[in-house]
Structure 1
Amino acid sequence: MPGTSESRPVSGLENTALIGVMLLPLLLLHAHGVAEIVIALVDLCFLARSAMTRDWAWLRIGWLWFAAAWWGWLVFCSLPVPGTTLGEGGARSLLQAVITVRFLLLVVALEWLVLRTAAARLWLWRLVAASAAWIVLNSVIQDLFGRNLIGWPPAAEGVLTGPFGTARAGPPMARIIIPAVLPPVATLLQRRDKAATAAAYALLLGSVLIMVLIGQRMPLVLTLFGLLIVAVLIRRLRPLVLTAVIAGALLLAASPIVAPAAYFRLVDKFSTQMEHFAISPYGQLYTRAWQVGLNHPFTGMGFDGFGTGCPRPANFRPSFDGSQPDGGGAKICWDHPHNHYLQALDDGGFIGLALFGAMALAWLRPLGRGLWRDPEPRRVALFAAIFIQVWPIQSTTAFTSMPVGGWFFLLLGWAMAESRAQPGS
């Protein structure tokens, strides 16, 4: 009841969760460990509120059942059972599998409680847009003056680092740049005057150009892919998207002169890797990940299955082209295979892979509902951001690694909240 002693602690839990979520963009930029703590705090506040109000209706959310099935199987495959192939990663693997649920609970909390008001969703957009602007500002200054605002130079091979000390500006930008810029771009175009239209073009063109200048291949490809999704769903933005892509191509063509470091990574190095893909680091990792999955087809090797299985000689196999009999041996190993679906295969076998794919589709279904009929820009932008994250043909970080995993689940919860807020949902 409003005004009762019971409602005050419930309101306190809700406010704490809201404040925590609004802090996440900043923490994902510069304090990953603290972000983990805040995610856990938001989850605990949400569960405590559910217990106090006896509100467990969120357990009927459709996508949650698919996510729970994937998570439950991951935990089962990570159980260290002597005499079996389960849980070969040991207690650490099991612990990591169990606490993976924190990300799923964060998405539910955002959809069901924290972002249920338009004001909360607007504030989150502002903070995400500010995060993108912070990365852009530091990238531009670093490109012009050789150091970002914090004093760090570009990374190896001239990759722009934004406000970071290493080459990690591109991956978060690929996820947040479209949700950050698409709503104002669409608003500017609606004004139908020359100045507003010019500003809309400048904003989207600038977004593509900064992704080219950052010089990381996969983030640029994913950004262009996301813009293609936007162009398919929003007819009036198609000329603008086409212009932005052409401008990016022209910059890339001129990059040997104006941005030689970007040209080396985006053209020269990429061409070389594609020409010799089988013995490139990515080809070696993918070959090994596939062999780990084939050798453990039913339950995988538990959480971090690739990290556990990669250095074992039993999982060595020749490279795709046969030029490396051992596929590069143990020296090529990493803690994840740089692909979410191969990671799901190695963690949980083919059952885990199927459950992971079903979970991804279960996320996309509510996010895409009604977009063809009513392509609201913010929902379209978030749909594109989620789609490019779960797209299987790409090189990735580990699925739940911070900060990219944190950005993804934050955007996913926001996207679910926007979808739930639509009439008839």
Structure 2
Amino acid sequence: MTAKRIARLAALLLPFCLLYARAGAELTIGLIDLAFLTHSLRSRDFAWARRPWFVIALLWWAAEILASTPIAALGLGPAGWKSLSQAIVLIRLLLLPAGLAWALDTPAARTRFWLAIAIAEGWILLQCWQQAIIGVNIFGDHRWPDGALTGPFWAPRAGPPYTHLLFLVALPIIAALIARRGIAPKCAAAGIGIIGFATALIIGQRMPFLLAGLGLAVTALAFRPVRLPAIALGILVLLAIPALKLVSPPSFDKLVLETTHQVQHFALSPYGELYTRATVMIERSPWHGYGFNGFLYFCPQSRFDAGLPALGIGPTDLARGACNIHPHNFYLQAAIEAGIGGLLLFAALNLAWLIELGRGILRQPMKLGAFIGVLTYAWPLASTDNFAVLPMAGWLFVMLGLGLALPQSGPAEPERLYTGQSRQPAMTGSYHD
């Protein structure tokens, strides 16, 4: 079995492992990386390592390693070797999108990989509706106490992956349907859009729902064939929010009432406490940070109780949720771990990813979907998970890898979802044989 075939098989398993098998996801990521590096060594082709996004990724990785290396004289690596070891293995994730782009070098391979992602997304959707209608998911789990749907999981984890994958899965199908003659395909496309957003609404998680709105706005701007329907859908969603109180009162309470309360008293909310605490930590060590997972290791220390007097924000309180395993924002996390320099490199890395994916999105719905998925993941004004921890980090690099595998120009790919054939000339470049 060739290295590329191993990588392709591992890639097909990866979306399902991200749903339920974290160890399996780590194994498949390792196989993809190993197969990719083996091919690069055998062919002596490392042109992919000179791509701007990968160069910036290596610089950010180096900043994380430096900040995590125990050098007491320089104040670096206060968490010791456990932090350094975690920083070192970040490279497995940074290699993954390049490995996927190499493995998914044919329309057939991309279609199969997209279908695996679509099945995972569809499973989340179905389990959310089952739980909303009959009260439990397939495993017998009920709604979370705050009203959010858990979908196919035991905890409220359905919203983030569902939202990030929504446009990658839905846009190619919608584009293929509206390209067909007749009213029925166009009605089906409208139905997919409505069901997709209705699911984001009933899940009842605020940030994923807002990010879905961001994705819809980008779709309206970038994809002309659905511009007016997208605007209409946005208006419909806004009108549906009050009706949610009748259809799903727990979701309404979570999205509207709790959000209103937290916005009015944000500084004293758990998120306000977290962000204040994180800002104080950055002020105390603005240049070298605390190393990988520094927030987890050092947040409880009393020296960070100070608050932000200049903004009228008082001292934080552990009892109000000022500490957690991460600061719930990627950019605060980057600054805490590797200082201001690490923050700038991390921001540059996300921008480089978006620039790379942004080429060709006006003509390729699948690439537009990947772009929106990465954009909603990298959006700075959001509550997030830990950046480098599976499963969420895995979804980011899955979307990024598929987006990088798509050609930058040429006809749109939705038709290949049905034909499995390419109408483009063979691709060339450093990702491909």
2:360–2:367: 8 Å Cα contact kept in structure 1? no
Alpha-carbon offset, residue 329 of structure 1: 3.9
Alpha-carbon offset, residue 387 of structure 1: 1.1
Secondary structure of the 2:406 match is helix
Q: Which residue of 2 aligns with 1:333?
A: 323
2:359–2:408: 8 Å Cα contact kept in structure 1? no
1:310–1:333: 8 Å Cα contact kept in structure 2? yes
Structure 2 residue identity aligned to 1:74:
E
Alpha-carbon offset, residue 82 of structure 1: 2.6
Alpha-carbon offset, residue 251 of structure 1: 2.4
Q: Which residue of 1 aligns with 2:414?
A: none
Structure 1 residue identity aligned to 2:194:
L
Q: Does 1:126 pair with 2:122?
A: no
Secondary structure of the 2:73 match is coil
Q: Does 1:406 pair with 2:394?
A: yes
Q: Does 1:307 pair with 2:300?
A: no
Inter-partner Cα distance in structure 2 for 1:394 and 1:53: 42
Map Cα deviations across residues 319-358 of structure 1 (whole Å, 9 max, x no partner): 5797874211475211111111000000110000011111
Q: Which residue of 1 aligns with 2:355?
A: 365
Alpha-carbon offset, residue 204 of structure 1: 0.3
Unaligned runs of 5+ in 2: 411-426
Inter-partner Cα distance in structure 2 for 1:277 and 1:269: 11
Inter-partner Cα distance in structure 1 for 2:229 and 2:241: 18
Unaligned runs of 5+ in 1: 1-10
Q: Which residue of 1 aligns with 2:277?
A: 288
Choose from 358, 371, 375 the match for 2:363.
375
Inter-partner Cα distance in structure 1 for 2:250 and 2:61: 41
Alpha-carbon offset, residue 420 of structure 1: 5.3
- TM-score, with structure 1 as normaliser: 0.93
Choose from 194, 213, 224 the match for 1:224.
213
Q: Does 1:42 pair with 2:16?
A: no
Counterpart mapping for 1:12-411 below 5 A: 12-111=2-101, 113-318=102-307, 325-329=314-318, 332-371=322-361, 374-411=362-399
Q: Number of matched residues? A: 412
Kindly report the root-mean-square deviation, in angstroms, between the aligned alpha carbons of the 2 structures.
1.8
Inter-partner Cα distance in structure 2 for 1:94 and 1:192: 58
Structure 2 residue identity aligned to 1:344:
A
Question: Comparing 320-329 with 21-30, which one deviates more in the overlay?
Answer: 320-329
Map Cα deviations across residues 334-389 of structure 1 (whole Å, 9 max, x no partner): 11111110000001100000111111111111211243xx4311111111111111
Q: Which has the higher contact order (CA 8 A, sep 6+)?
A: 2
Inter-partner Cα distance in structure 2 for 1:284 and 1:150: 34
Inter-partner Cα distance in structure 1 for 2:301 and 2:75: 14
Structure 2 residue identity aligned to 1:385:
G
Inter-partner Cα distance in structure 2 for 1:320 and 1:386: 35
Inter-partner Cα distance in structure 2 for 1:258 and 1:97: 46
Map Cα deviations across residues 220-258 of structure 1 (whole Å, 9 max, x no partner): 111110111111001121122122222322321111111
Question: Comparing 348-357 with 231-240, which one deviates more in the overlay?
Answer: 231-240
Q: Which residue of 1 aligns with 2:417?
A: none
Inter-partner Cα distance in structure 2 for 1:300 and 1:247: 45
Inter-partner Cα distance in structure 1 for 2:254 and 2:318: 26
Question: Comparing 233-242 with 279-288, which one deviates more in the overlay?
Answer: 233-242
Alpha-carbon offset, residue 268 of structure 1: 0.1
Alpha-carbon offset, residue 419 of structure 1: 4.2
Inter-partner Cα distance in structure 2 for 1:52 and 1:17: 15
The runs of 4+ residues in structure 1 deviating greater than 3 Å are 319-325, 419-425
Using the aligned pairs only, state the percent identity: 37
Structure 2 residue identity aligned to 1:168:
R
Q: Which residue of 1 aligns with 2:422?
A: none
Inter-partner Cα distance in structure 2 for 1:337 and 1:293: 12
Secondary structure of the 1:272 match is helix
Question: Comparing 80-89 with 260-269, which one deviates more in the overlay?
Answer: 80-89
Secondary structure of the 1:308 match is helix
Inter-partner Cα distance in structure 2 for 1:387 and 1:139: 24
